[in-house]
Amino acid sequence: MAATAALDELRAAIGAERVSTDPAELIVYAYDGAWLEGRPAVVLHPETTRHVADILRIADRERIPVVPRGAATGLAGGAVALEGGWCLNLARMNKILDVSAADSAAVVQPGVVTAALQKEVERVGLFYPPDPASLHMCTIGGNVSTNAGGPRCLKYGVTADYVLALEVALPCGRVMRTGRRTIKDVAGYNLKQLFAGSEGTLGVITEITLRLIPKPAAQATALAVFPRVAEACDAVGRMLASGIVPLVTELMDNTVVRAVDAFFRSRSSSAGLPLDADAVLLVAVDGDGDQVERDIDAIAGLLRESGAREVRRARDAVEAEALWEARRAINPALIRLAHDRLGEDVVVPRGHIPRMVERIRQTAAAHDLTIALFGHIGDGNLHPTILCDRRDGEMMKRVQSASTAIFDAAIDLGGSITGEHGVGVVKLNYLARAVDPIALEAMRAIKRIFDPNGIMNPGKKLPSGVGER
């Protein structure tokens, strides 16, 4: 069928007003949070599961690539239409369908913004813990597709830990439901977990049932200032060994601290961060009010014993939020330091965090690059961010070499090349060195089962050739 005829069929199936071919609009959908670009041939705006299923049915028949897209906050190029085709914009599927206190569950469409869901469930005393840094923009569908984490995953786990059930439109146009609204379910294979983290390569998630938990009664936040990063790493190890499980433990090195301070000053405000610190550690605990007080006091003592020259506790929720606003400002702050930045996402066993930090710093020195360092240190997830300029070819060769060195270091220390951002395109060529070859073949087989014609987000998540790097 000619492309024009396929478009006419699309317009008849989902409505002409939901089919965009205007070149100016196509440009808007040509990029995500990474620096890759790829303009789709068409942008589609489904509003129902039936719309999505009809789109996939036509695309599969015509062998047209489909790229699902949420808020495009991803940092691995997963929402970029590198091969043209159809961009499936799920932003209009943004309804919270149900919040049940009795079942401790919520049912949402994929376009629901994460922070909006959190606010809604907290009105009835419930809590949805996953909190990516982009939570005020990112969507639940994108969170599930990348199995997003965030600072609170040290205590509460990642997105997949809260997925009870999914509705998924498959490339053939059929709609599958997997999982159910119960805590326990071992009937058949756990397909919902297969789709969590699949990055839109198997099907399109059209409805999500999420597990909720009771909202903690209290929370306390403290900031610790360290003369050396190694001491901040040691402090986290002491905390975890003490039996206290913090809500979050967030590390910022001096480059990040200075960037955040400059960012706030540009807005005529202040982040209140010490500019001479080699490392700043943000720590929070939550739970019962009395226990929170005991835990934060104990943590403050451990921080000082580990070498913190200052421990500053937020006096109220307003001060605590100000500290976390500083943490959430890291990415926009780093953008101001260079023409470009390459944000990595490696994870290692917690005991190897000090060694990983040292390897990253050695890599920066060896390649004559500035690598800003921050991350969720308590769960071993670091975000070394290379400041660079894509217009400088010689520099970009050093950036590529440094990225490889960082990934090699993570793997050497028993970790992974991605903890929460996903593979997308950015890390595709490194996957073969990070995943067992037999497991990689099994993944390709699964891809062929769900997407035999290869239309779902092609060129993402899995390398196409055996042994490709």
Q: What is the pLDDT of residue 468?
A: 34
Helical pair 353-366 and 229-241, crossing angle rounded to 10 deg: 160
Q: What domains, with CATH codes, occur in the chain?
A: 96-214 (3.30.465.10), 218-333 (3.30.70.2190), 338-412 (3.30.70.2740)
CB atoms closer than 10 angstroms to residue 381: 26
Q: What is the pLDDT of residues 189-244, one digit of tens each?
A: 999 999 999 999 999 999 999 999 999 999 999 999 999 999 999 999 999 999 99
For residue 428, name the pLDDT band (cuts at 50, 70, 90): very high
pLDDT at 469 > cutoff 70: no
Beta bridge partners of 226: 279
Q: What is the pLDDT of residue 463?
A: 87
Compute the distance between CA of residue 348 and CA of residue 350 in angstroms, rounded to an integer.
6
Compute the distance between CA of residue 30 and CA of residue 37 in angstroms, rounded to an integer.
5
pLDDT at 2 > cutoff 70: no
- Which are the contacts of 205, defined by CB distance < 8 A and separation ≥ 6? 68, 110, 141, 144, 145, 166, 167, 168, 195
Q: What is the pLDDT of residues 300-315, one digit of tens each?
A: 999 999 999 999 999 9
Question: What's the mean pLDDT when you consider all of the chain?
Answer: 94
